[in-house]
Structure 1
Amino acid sequence: MLPAAIRDLIKPPPGFDIDFGRPRNAPALVPFNGISWKVFSNPVALFVGGIAAVLLELAEPSVRSGVWDHSNFRADPVTRLRRTGFAALVTVYAPRAEAERMIAAVVKMHERVTGTTPDGLPYRANDPRLLEWVHATALFGFLEAYHCYVSPLSLEEKSRAFMEGQEAARLYGAEHPPRSWPEWEQLLARTAPGLEDSAILREFLDLMEAAPILPAWLRPMQRLLVRAAVELTPYPMRAYPSLQRRGLHGGEAAIVRLLGKGAKALPLSSLPPAQATRRMCG
C-alpha cells in the first residue's frame, strides 16, 4: 500500500495520454541516462523538490500573481500539482516531438496570462525573465531534494543537469537560463532582493498539507514531505515568518532520507521513466 502511494506521486494525471515507450530509440530533450533521468525518476525527490520550487516561485511577486490569479491551485491543488509534475516528466523522458508539442501548448496558454500585481507592476507569463526564474527554481528544487534526501550529487553533476535543461528552457522562452549550479546561485543572489513573504506562501503550505495527495492514513507522511520542502528553501526565504517552524524537526530528515532511498527500489515499470528507458534500449 505504501509503495503504491509513493508511486502515484509520479503517475500521469487523467487525460494525459503520452506514449513514453515509442517510437523506439526516439531521443528526448535531455540526454538518455543523464543526471536528469536519474533525479526525475525518484517520486520523493520530485514531490519534495516540486513544492520547494513552487515556494520560490510564489516568493517572486509577478510569478505569484500569475500563478495565483490564473490557475486552479486553490480549487484543485491535487490536479494542478500532478499536471505540473507530469509536465516535468514529459520534458525529461518523452520523445522530443511529444515534449515539443506539450511545451508549445503551454507557451500558447501562457500568452493569455497577463495582469498587474497588487503593487501595480504589470506582468506576463511569457516574460523571459520570469521564465528563467521558474525554470531555474524547478531544477534547483528537484536537484536539491535528490541531493539531500536520496543520494548526494557533486557540483559537477548539478551543473550538468542545468546544461541538460537548456533546450527545454529555451523552448519555453527563457533566453538566458542558468547553465550551471554557480550560475543558478548568481541568479538567486540577483533575484533575492525582490523576493518577499506573503500570506499566499502560508496558504500554499496549508493546501499542500491538507490536500488529498496521499491516502488519509498517509497524511502525516505527506505533511512530513512538505516540511522537507520548506527545509530546502534558501536564504532569504528560510527566514520568512510564513515558513517559520514549518521545516523539519528533530530527526525527521533521516526519515525523509529513508523514504527517498527506499523510493529508488520501488517497481516503477509502468511509469514514464521506465517506459522511456525501454524505448531507448529497445
Structure 2
Amino acid sequence: MIERVRERASEAIFARVAGPEGAGRRDRIHGTAGVRRFSPSDPIWRVHADPSMFVGGIRALLLQSLHPLAMAGVDQHSGFRGDPWGRLQRTSGFIAETTFATTTHADRAISAVRRIHERVAGEAPDGRAYAASDPHLLRWVHLAEIDSFLRAHDRYGSSPLSPAERDLYVAQTAVTARLLGAEEVPETVSELDAALEAHRAELRSTPAARAAARFMLLNPPVPLAIRAPYGMLAAAAVGLLPRWARRPLRLPWLPLTEATAVRAGGVVVTRAIGWAMAPPARSA
C-alpha cells in the first residue's frame, strides 16, 4: 500500500516537472552509453538531482526578475504566464540534459538553446534594447540560478557539500554557462558572491517583476490538492532571498518565522518529494 502511494506521488510529480515527453527523455539521458562531463560523485550531479532544486528554482526566478532587461525578455517572449508548466518542463529538461546526459546530448541541448536565444530580442519598457544572447545577461541568469540552487541545497539538501565541493559545484556549472555564451563566469563561491554584489547596481523593481512574483507566490498555476506543499516550497524560496531582494518585489522580511515555521515546512516538503521520487528499493 505504501509503495503504491509512493509510485502515484512519484508519477504525479514527474509528470508536472518533466511533461509528456519526460519518460522518453529520462530514458535517453540516463540510458544512453557514452562519455559524460559529470558523474554521480560530482557535486553538480548531487545538487541537481536533489529535491531542494524545487526551492532553488523558485528563488532563482524571483531573483532573476530583478534585472529589468532579463525580466523584459521573459515577460515578452517566454509565455510563462500562459504556459508556466511548459516553461518549467523545458528548463528542467535542459538542466537534466547538461548535467546527466552524454556530452553529445548535452552539447546538442546547448546548441538548441543558443539558437532560441538568437531570436529573442526586443526593447524593455525603459527603452533599452535587450537580447537573450547578450553575454552579460546570460551571466546574470547563471549567477541567480547557481546561487539559488546552491543555497537551497545548503539548507534543504539531503547530502550537504563541503566547502571544497561547493567551489567545485560553481566551477562545474560554469562549463555550461560558458558554452551558452556567458562571459566572466565565476568558478568559486567567493567569486560567485562578488559577481552577485557587482550586479546589484543594475537591479530594479519593475511592474513586470512584481507581477511575476505575485503570479508565482499568490496565484500559482497548481491544482488545489498541491497548493499547500507548493506554498511551503514558495515560502522556503522567499526565506532564502537576501533582504535587499525583498523590498523591490514587495516581499516581507520575517526572520523569526522563516527560521522556524518556514524552514520546518521546507524540510518537510523536500523530504516528502525525495521519498516519493526515490526508487522502490531505496524507499522500502
Task: Assess same fold via TM > 0.5.
Answer: yes
* TM-score under structure 2 length normalisation: 0.84
* Aligned 8 A contact 2:57 2:149 in 1: yes
Q: Quick one: distance in 1 between partners of 2:90 and 2:38?
A: 20
Query: Aligned residue for 1:278?
Result: none
**Percent of counterpart pairs with the same letter?**
31
Shift of 1:269: 4.2
* Aligned 8 A contact 1:201 1:242 in 2: no
Structure 1 residues 65 and 233: CA distance shift in structure 2, 3 A = same
Structure 1 residues 196 and 5: CA distance shift in structure 2, 3 A = farther
Q: Deviations over 1:90-143 (max 9, x none)?
A: 111111111111110110011011112111211111111111111121111111
Partner SS, residue 35 of structure 2 = coil
Q: Does 1:125 align with 2:132?
A: yes
Superposed counterparts of 1:63-102, under 5 Å: 63-102=70-109
Structure 1 residues 246 and 240: CA distance shift in structure 2, 3 A = farther
Superposed counterparts of 1:212-231, under 5 Å: 212-213=221-222, 215-231=223-239
Structure 1 residues 67 and 138: CA distance shift in structure 2, 3 A = same
Query: Aligned residue for 1:279?
Result: none
Query: Aligned residue for 1:211?
Result: 220
Query: Where in structure 1 are there 5+ consecutive unaligned residues?
Result: 275-282
Q: Calculate the aligned-residue CA RMSD, in Å.
A: 2.6
Superposed counterparts of 1:180-195, under 5 Å: 180-195=188-203
- Larger relative contact order (Cα-Cα within 8 Å, sequence gap ≥ 6): 1
Kindly provide the amino acid, as one letter, of the partner of residue 184 in structure 1: L
Superposed counterparts of 1:128-167, under 5 Å: 128-151=135-158, 152-167=160-175
Query: Where in structure 2 are there 5+ consecutive unaligned residues?
Result: none
* Aligned 8 A contact 2:37 2:102 in 1: yes
Partner SS, residue 73 of structure 1 = coil
Shift of 1:162: 0.9
* TM-score under structure 1 length normalisation: 0.85
Matched pairs, number:
268
Query: Aligned residue for 2:113?
Result: 106
Corresponding residue to 2:208 among 195, 200, 203: 200
Structure 1 residues 221 and 32: CA distance shift in structure 2, 3 A = closer
Q: Does 1:260 align with 2:254?
A: no
* Aligned 8 A contact 2:124 2:130 in 1: yes
Shift of 1:51: 1.1
Q: Quick one: distance in 1 between partners of 2:133 and 2:36?
A: 24
Q: Does 1:22 align with 2:28?
A: no
Q: Quick one: distance in 2 between partners of 1:254 and 1:6?
A: 24
* Aligned 8 A contact 1:116 1:123 in 2: yes
Corresponding residue to 2:240 among 232, 237, 254: 232
* Aligned 8 A contact 1:36 1:164 in 2: yes
Q: Quick one: distance in 2 between partners of 1:199 and 1:238?
A: 14
Query: Aligned residue for 2:179?
Result: 171
Q: Deviations over 1:18-55 (max 9, x none)?
A: 3023333x233334421111111123x11110111111
* Aligned 8 A contact 2:68 2:206 in 1: no
